Amino acid sequence: MSRSASESAVITTARRAREAAAALAPLPRTARDAALEAIADALEARSAEIVEANAQDIARARQAGTPDAIVDRLTLTEQRVSAIAADVRDVVALPDPVGEVVRGSTLPNGLELRQVRVPLGVVGIIYEARPNVTVDAASLCLKAGNAVLLRGSSSAYASNTALVAVLRDAVVAAGLPADAVQLVPGESRESVHELMGARGLVDVLIPRGGASLIKTVVEQSTVPVIETGTGNCHVYIDESADLGMAVDILVNSKAQRPSVCNAAETVLVHAGIADRFLPRALAALTEAGVKVHGDEAWQKAGSSAGVEVAPATDEDWATEYLSYDIAAAVVPGLDEAAAHIRRWTSGHTEAIVTRDTAAARRFVSLMDSTAVMVNASTRFTDGSQFGYGAEIGISTQKLHARGPMGLPELTSTTYIVTGDGHIRE
Amino acid sequence: MSRSASESAVITTARRAREAAAALAPLPRTARDAALEAIADALEARSAEIVEANAQDIARARQAGTPDAIVDRLTLTEQRVSAIAADVRDVVALPDPVGEVVRGSTLPNGLELRQVRVPLGVVGIIYEARPNVTVDAASLCLKAGNAVLLRGSSSAYASNTALVAVLRDAVVAAGLPADAVQLVPGESRESVHELMGARGLVDVLIPRGGASLIKTVVEQSTVPVIETGTGNCHVYIDESADLGMAVDILVNSKAQRPSVCNAAETVLVHAGIADRFLPRALAALTEAGVKVHGDEAWQKAGSSAGVEVAPATDEDWATEYLSYDIAAAVVPGLDEAAAHIRRWTSGHTEAIVTRDTAAARRFVSLMDSTAVMVNASTRFTDGSQFGYGAEIGISTQKLHARGPMGLPELTSTTYIVTGDGHIRE
């Protein structure tokens, strides 16, 4: 495609990213790592400038009456900028995914076949609020040899503009094309729509943020999308569970950090242990500040224990609360628990607590989710917990990547086939 | 979603496939292989019935004045049905992709992490003319534990209906749910559109066929798509090439089977060898019945050799001829060849003929395609040539699968994480 006079700023940006990606692809690890080192150094050297720009976003947010917790997520201090720079250095230390031979063989006719990891090309990230994502996403994309288009929240526009200016200067100083890192121009929804239509220029879009943003991108984008993050996670307490372990895992899954996608939203309990488990669970959940939305069995147990249990409706089974709330039901058995989960899950993480190996195997085989925990908290579905280093998101789709996405998930592969004049008969 | 009175037949079919997929997922290899054996046996036992149904399609095709070559592709004989049954038995013999541990480790806290291949779930295949694809696609999907929705060409509707009836009976006889294999009802385009909107019921759509079908599905589907097959493939003859080898690879790439996606459509020649190479290439291409659409250099060489060379336009660089035609240009060097290819390629297969190791490395590093051949014909990009057994198509996209798609590409993965009460601190 050639550039036309009427081309939008977003499409021009995407075209520049495509050119930068072509220049990045043949570069060896040393060149990409040098750019990341330059970025880390520049972030520290210019942190005052970044914090100053961030102050504008904070002032705007306060004026708009933004809640303190969100203002805090938006806030950059010199210390936080240093921590972001340290994260970039951690990315430098990760193994290079580019060039890894994934499969290889010599064919019967002597042709040498190698399937090799290569950069995806141009990666677009659409994300909300937190400006540290700007640097995290850019550094992971660069490490994997990709050009990145960053479309952050308008509430962090000044911060992101300052950060991207620092990143681009550092990239250029290291001899890479500036357009390897670009902020998508425009603060309106229109720029997201243009990005979604840039098929052929952008290789993949990764939306990170609220469910409505992700739904919009998944349904409307002609650019391929990796769906991330909605987590309606379940904990099933089997008849054979160690009840103390079950209470600990339930409370940890729900309440250790309720605002994240791998927090539990529903607990299902085998009928055979309900009498013994529900009172203990109610006490522990109440202690942790969690409100239960339960079926009749949980409501009865609540009455006996003097704890208010709200009646659960279908909406509760479907909801990702992201708060100190949990839906709760008693089920006749494991298969019914699995059926409930398959009906309502967003496909993120499910857990079983059991002492029975057959029950564990059967539960795992009946799930259709990104991760299944056996006697462990749902909160472990996480790139850094899995030992993958930084993650660019947790994919809840089945194609390309499922689960925490690290560097290998930011690559594609190509076949290199070497012969000495081979032709097909 | 619950079934509503107004639900279309296609959506009902997809919902049944989803239920069948849930039943298939926990089954071991032995159960899936038994179903495939039953299919192979049933195809042979009922081949008369299949050939009879096929005769209706052939009669319709002849009445409509369909060209002989296409009627031939549509035709089933008892012998061809036997060959299809033999292909199913080959699939039985392939390694089971389901359950393969792709990655695994014990985390520092003792959690055991395994990333394991699981079926995708419901796979929809949209394909044209050839009824053997019905059985190939169904057997590969079943082998990988998936339910399959088959949306074949209306011109093969009677054949496909008969084949799917045989497949379903065999699947049931082997104890699997009949709805593991279904024909999508309706012969109209509308049924394709409904399939494309069945997000949440269908996990992936694989369109196989003409460029316009693929474009429609890629642009309009909300179900994730794997793009297959368009092949605007290039052969670049480097300055250092062995000219005899170059002629052989060029003619093989173009003319060994011009109607397929891995056939070459453009040849680019280094200016330094044009004087010596063009006359030899023109003679060999003409001998093979190939018409050249060339730039000025090729036209001049044509005049000298008394061979008609049509003037090439931008349309020629962009065209996947799939016929005895080839676009041809002389380029100043390797980098210009790479630039031409990156501009016009569909990203399928490119080849370089060279004796220079540095040129080979540089060409490979500059390509952004599914496969790059060094001193080999483009015709080798093929699942069976690569030793992967049957293929369900050749993906030309970068996400999930790139290149010939075998059984592993028909799976997703899930994480199984096992602890003994692990919680996050």
Name the residue with tokens 């109440």. A286
| Nearest CB partner across the interface for A249, out of B342, B387, B423 | B423
B166 min Cα distance to partner chain A (Å): 29
User: Is B371–A416 a contact, with Cβ atoms under 8 angstroms apart?
Assistant: yes
| Nearest CB partner across the interface for A224, out of B252, B399, B414 | B399
User: Is B418–A376 a contact, with Cβ atoms under 8 angstroms apart?
Assistant: yes
* Alpha-carbon span B267 to B254, nearest angstrom: 9
| Nearest CB partner across the interface for B422, out of A360, A377, A413 | A377
pLDDT, residue A229, reads 77
* Alpha-carbon span A54 to A396, nearest angstrom: 32
CA dihedral A340, A345, A347, A352 (to 10 degrees): -50
Closest by CA to A139, choosing from A48, A239, A40, is: A40
* Alpha-carbon span B150 to B188, nearest angstrom: 14
Sort strands B411-422 and B403-404 into parallel, antiparallel or unpaired.
unpaired
User: Is B376–A113 a contact, with Cβ atoms under 8 angstroms apart?
Assistant: no
pLDDT over 60 at A289, yes or no? yes
pLDDT over 70 at A4, yes or no? no
| Confidence at A87, pLDDT banded by 50, 70, 90 | very high
Q: How do residues B135-158 score in pLDDT, each as one tens digit?
A: 999 999 999 999 999 999 889 999
Closest by CA to B119, choosing from A117, A366, A403, is: A366
Question: What residues of chain B lie within 8 A of the CB of A369, using their CB?
Answer: 414
Question: Which residues, 6 or more positions from B132, have their beta carbon under 8 angstroms from its beta carbon?
Answer: B76, B80, B84, B87
Question: Least CA distance to A98: which residue of chain B?
Answer: B365
Question: Least CA distance to B111: which residue of chain A?
Answer: A376
Domains in chain B with CATH codes: 9-226+405-418 (3.40.605.10), 233-385 (3.40.309.10)
User: Is A369–B414 a contact, with Cβ atoms under 8 angstroms apart?
Assistant: yes
Question: Which residues, 6 or more positions from B248, have their beta carbon under 8 angstroms from its beta carbon?
Answer: A421, A423
* Alpha-carbon span A202 to A169, nearest angstrom: 23
Q: How do residues A292-301 score in pLDDT, each as one tens digit?
A: 999 999 999 9
Mean pLDDT over residues A308-325, rounded?
96
Q: Give, in degrees to the nearest 5, the angle at Cα B200 between B217 and A259.
A: 125
pLDDT, residue B1, reads 42
Q: How do residues A338-386 score in pLDDT, each as one tens digit?
A: 999 999 999 999 999 999 999 999 999 999 999 999 999 999 999 989 9
Chain A, chain B: beta-carbon pairs less than 8 Å apart: 208
pLDDT, residue B2, reads 45
Interface list for A 353-392 with B (CB within 8 A): 360, 362, 364-377, 379-381, 385-387
Chain A contact for B256 (CB, 8 A cutoff): yes
User: Is B399–A226 a contact, with Cβ atoms under 8 angstroms apart?
Assistant: yes
Interface list for A 66-125 with B (CB within 8 A): 105, 107-108, 111, 113, 115, 118, 120-121
User: Is B376–A413 a contact, with Cβ atoms under 8 angstroms apart?
Assistant: no
CA distances (Å), origin B45, targets A366, B80, B138, B166: 35, 13, 18, 10
A374 DSSP β-pair partners: A352, B418
| Nearest CB partner across the interface for B402, out of A245, A399, A412 | A412
* Alpha-carbon span A30 to A22, nearest angstrom: 17
Closest by CA to A33, choosing from A161, A140, A150, is: A140
A81 min Cα distance to partner chain B (Å): 25
Instruction: Give start and end residues of each alpha helix (H) in A25-122.
Output: 29-45, 47-63, 68-74, 78-93
Q: How do residues A166-225 score in pLDDT, each as one tens digit?
A: 999 999 999 999 999 999 987 778 889 999 999 999 999 999 888 888 888 988 899 999
* Alpha-carbon span B373 to B377, nearest angstrom: 7
A423 min Cα distance to partner chain B (Å): 5
Point out the residues of chain B with pLDDT beneath 50.
Answer: 1-3
User: Is A421–B199 a contact, with Cβ atoms under 8 angstroms apart?
Assistant: no
pLDDT over 90 at A230, yes or no? no
* Alpha-carbon span B365 to B346, nearest angstrom: 17
Question: Least CA distance to B347: which residue of chain A?
Answer: A414
Question: What residues of chain A lie within 8 A of the CB of B199, using their CB?
Answer: 218-219
Query: Are the CB atoms for A423 and B379 separated by under 8 Å?
Result: yes
pLDDT over 50 at A155, yes or no? yes
% of chain A surpassing 90 pLDDT: 87
| Nearest CB partner across the interface for A412, out of B381, B398, B421 | B398
**Complex ipTM:** 0.93
User: Is A377–B418 a contact, with Cβ atoms under 8 angstroms apart?
Assistant: no
Query: Are the CB atoms for B398 and B270 separated by under 8 Å?
Result: no
User: Is B387–A107 a contact, with Cβ atoms under 8 angstroms apart?
Assistant: yes
Q: How do residues B312-369 score in pLDDT, each as one tens digit?
A: 999 999 999 999 999 999 999 999 999 999 999 999 999 999 999 999 999 999 999 9
Question: What residues of chain B lie within 8 A of the CB of A22, using their CB?
Answer: 342, 366, 368
* Alpha-carbon span B37 to B93, nearest angstrom: 10
Question: What residues of chain B lie within 8 A of the CB of A25, using their CB?
Answer: 365-366, 368
Name the residue with tokens 């628990």. A337
Query: Are the CB atoms for A361 and A372 separated by under 8 Å?
Result: no
Q: How do residues A97-124 score in pLDDT, each as one tens digit?
A: 999 999 999 999 999 999 999 999 999 9
Helix (H, G, I), strand (E, B) or coil at B91: helix
User: Is A398–B222 a contact, with Cβ atoms under 8 angstroms apart?
Assistant: no
pLDDT, residue A1, reads 42
* Alpha-carbon span A248 to A263, nearest angstrom: 14
Q: Give, in degrees to the nearest 5, the angle at Cα A26 between A25 and A30.
A: 100
Query: Are the CB atoms for B259 and B323 separated by under 8 Å?
Result: yes
